[in-house]
Amino acid sequence: MSTTSVPYIFRQAGAGRSLPGRDKRRIPALGCPRPPAAIPTRKPRENHRLAHISSRDSPRTVATRLSLSQCVASTTAAMMDAATTTTLLYGALLAAAFLYVAALRRRRGGGEGSLPPGPKGLPLLGSLLSLDPDLHTYFAGLAARYGPIFSIRLGSKLGIVITSPALAREVLRENDLVFSSRDIPDAARSISYGGGQNIVWNPVGPTWRLLRRVCVREMLSPAGLDNVHGLRRREFRATLAHLHAAAAAGKAVDVGAQLFLTTMNVITGTLWGGNIGTESERTAVGKEFRELVAEITEMLGAPNVSDFFPSLTRFDLQGIRKKSDVLKTRFDEIFARIIEQRVKTEQAGGETSEDFLEYMLKMEKEGGDGKASFTMTNVKALLMDMVVGGTETTSNTVEWAMAEMLQNRSILRKVQEELDAVVGVDGVVEESHLPQLHYLQLVVKETLRLHPALPLMVPHCPSEDTAVGGYRVPAGSRVFVNAWAIMRDPEAWEDPTKFVPERFAASKDSGDGRKVDFTGSELDYMPFGSGRRICAGIAMAERMTAYSIAMLLQAFDWELPEGAALDLTEKFGIVMKKATPLVAVPTPRLSRPELYSA
């Protein structure tokens, strides 16, 4: 992914520019200014006197409306005596002036219900030119300057950035429904079959509910995952054999790339079983998907003029839409081929597997659930969601965990000691061992705290003007919750930048013994988000990451190649990566070579 990427695109908001003013009250821990304690925020539609002037009215519209009211006032006045007329006229003029100024202040972000503070930026371009490609750290820096809620204009889009658990709660929990929409980048619109067909980019509504329910219940729930436990076992054993061969040859392994392939094979296997031809064909599809997913996330991260200036979308000045259409078509062809093969097998009376594709095809025949339709485009869009949403997220998390443990050897040894105690070295770790691997679970939690796969989550978009932290967040703005910064907030976390799995231990021997889960109920720990748009694949992610790390560490010792240095630099993207891939050399540690056979 390009380091110059600006991953999220800002929605054109009806509001005007933010005030340059800064609140100097700082949150000691983050060094961030606090928002004003309680600036009374008035929503336009709640204000009867201003009810006919919306914050989105242009000054010209306001003026037109005001001259109309003046006209009414003067007509009425003509029927009265001169004194009353003069008084009324002055009154009307005063009211008109008040309303006009109020409307302008709303648009410019002044006074009550003002926009959050933020960098002023240049006319037209806003802060586009000063944008840092590492958006999560750039936003954290701006939060330290402007406060835990700030606004930033990029082109004609308005972004609102949230950097505190309390304000994240207001957005994701208290105003969950209002903030549950998405603003779709142009590239995502192409890749998601128009935006209204899949889970990630669909607004909350009957279709989104149906799609999410279908995926979570049939594929991503613990029960759905149990059904395909054998498939994961097979894929993990294949990876084990592959790593063993690399170890025998003394070769270094690209940990992230290998785990991407494993995850991809598990996900595609769960989606459409092993029914797409030979093992080598399946591996080829996995390889092709890896390239496609990488290109798609790059595309989603590319700064796109069409997103900053939606009126220019049709010109596709950088050709990003064209490229994403090509990628979408390549995916679509693969999906179409797999579906066609399945339908043919079915028609020929052949045996079909009970996998997710089969379930979706049945659903497609039925046409939906009565509230929303379910079409072949939905089938493909869901396949895309699972493939793109579930692969890099999971494999990058495993790569970060391994990198952190290679940096902190005592933690790595502790995980191996636990594995030795629970599994030993005379057998291979199974998924069924995971509930007993308590320390390993802490490692997963700590990895997701320090390296959340989606540092700014998938941005949310309010459907109406809403007050957050005493400020007005306009409908249609693009709201980023900086989960990365929140999970490093020194007010919530001791030594926040240190990798300390013990901080989550039930006993308080070391760390602070914080019990957190992945449900997003505590807003200072939300690697999967919170509220109704929380990740749909948590159960799968949890199993896959823990199982992967367990396999890598039970079966092998790991060393960096001779002379190599560990680099933990992050590379921001819609999915955060390590700037340099983790390459390490495995050495077998199981008691017998046969244990590594697939």
Which residues are annotated as part of the binding site? 535
Segment lying near ligand HEM (by CB under 6 A), choices 11-19, 273-281, 300-308, 531-539: 531-539
Segment lying near ligand HEM (by CB under 6 A), choices 232-240, 430-438, 491-499, 526-534: 526-534
Extended beta strands in 94-225, E state: 149-154, 157-162
What H or E segment, with its residue span, contains residue 101?
helix 82-108
Residue 447 contacts ligand HEM per CB under 6 A: no
Q: Among residues 34 and 182, whose Cβ is nearest to ligand HEM? A: 182
Q: How many CA atoms lie within 13 A of 265 on its CB side?
A: 23
Residue 385 contacts ligand HEM per CB under 6 A: yes
Assess contact for 480 and 159: CB atoms under 8 A. yes
Segment lying near ligand HEM (by CB under 6 A), choices 234-242, 307-315, 341-349, 446-454: 446-454
* Strand ranges of the sheet holding 149-154, from the earlier edge strand across to the other edge: 149-154, 157-162, 478-481
For the chain, give percent helix, strand, coil, nearest 5: 50, 10, 40
Q: In the structure encoding, which two tokens stand for residue 419, read together?
A: 């594995």
Residue 488 contacts ligand HEM per CB under 6 A: no
Q: What is the CA radius of gyration of the chain?
A: 27
Q: How far is the CB of 457 from ligand HEM (least distance, A)?
A: 4
Q: Is the dihedral of CA 536, 540, 545, 546 positive or negative?
A: positive
Q: Among residues 102 and 538, whose Cβ is nearest to ligand HEM? A: 538
Specify binding-site residues for heme: 535
Residue 191 contacts ligand HEM per CB under 6 A: no
Residue 187 contacts ligand HEM per CB under 6 A: no
Q: In the structure encoding, which two tokens stand for residue 457, read together?
A: 């989550």
Residue 536 contacts ligand HEM per CB under 6 A: yes
Nearest C-alpha neighbor of 476 from the set 130, 95, 56, 138: 56
Q: Is the dihedral of CA 402, 405, 406, 411 positive or negative?
A: negative
Q: Residue 371, exposed/middle/buried by CB under 10 A (0-12, 13-18, 19+)?
A: exposed
**In this structure, what are the phi and psi dihedrals at residue 45, rounded to the nearest 5 degrees?**
-75, -10
Q: Residue 129, exposed/middle/buried by CB under 10 A (0-12, 13-18, 19+)?
A: exposed
Q: In the structure encoding, which two tokens stand for residue 564, read together?
A: 């190599």
Q: How far is the CB of 518 from ligand HEM (least distance, A)?
A: 9
What H or E segment, with its residue span, contains residue 203?
none
Residue 398 contacts ligand HEM per CB under 6 A: no
**Cα–Cα distance for residue pair 368/374, rounded to 1 Å:** 4
- Binding ligand HEM (rule: CB under 6 A), the pick from 328, 445, 533, 577 is 533
**Cα–Cα distance for residue pair 458/529, rounded to 1 Å:** 9
Q: How far is the CB of 389 from ligand HEM (least distance, A)?
A: 4
Q: How far is the CB of 104 from ligand HEM (least distance, A)?
A: 34
Q: How far is the CB of 380 from ligand HEM (least distance, A)?
A: 14
- Binding ligand HEM (rule: CB under 6 A), the pick from 275, 304, 394, 466 is 394
Q: Which residue has the tokens 């002037």?
A: 53
Residue 165 contacts ligand HEM per CB under 6 A: no
Residue 268 contacts ligand HEM per CB under 6 A: no
300: number of Cβ within 10 Å: 25
Q: In the structure encoding, which two tokens stand for residue 136, read together?
A: 């999560």
Q: How far is the CB of 1 from ligand HEM (least distance, A)?
A: 17
Residue 535 contacts ligand HEM per CB under 6 A: yes
Residue 528 contacts ligand HEM per CB under 6 A: yes
Q: Reduce the DSSP state of residue 504 to 3 states and report it.
A: helix
Q: Residue 36, exposed/middle/buried by CB under 10 A (0-12, 13-18, 19+)?
A: middle
Of residues 193 through 212, those in contact with ligand HEM by CB under 6 A are: 199-200, 212
Q: Among residues 388 and 505, whose Cβ is nearest to ligand HEM? A: 388
Q: Which residues contact 191 (CB under 8 A, 6 or more apart)?
A: 296, 299, 300, 324, 327, 328, 331, 384, 388
- Binding ligand HEM (rule: CB under 6 A), the pick from 126, 133, 256, 389 is 389
Residue 225 contacts ligand HEM per CB under 6 A: no
Q: Among residues 117 and 537, whose Cβ is nearest to ligand HEM? A: 537
Q: Among residues 162 and 253, whose Cβ is nearest to ligand HEM? A: 162
- Binding ligand HEM (rule: CB under 6 A), the pick from 393, 466, 548, 554 is 393
Site size toward ligand HEM (CB under 6 A) is: 29
Segment lying near ligand HEM (by CB under 6 A), choices 85-93, 94-102, 404-412, 451-459: 451-459
List residues binding ligand HEM (CB under 6 A): 199-200, 212, 220, 267, 385-386, 389-390, 393-394, 397, 448, 452-454, 457-458, 527-529, 533-537, 540-541, 545
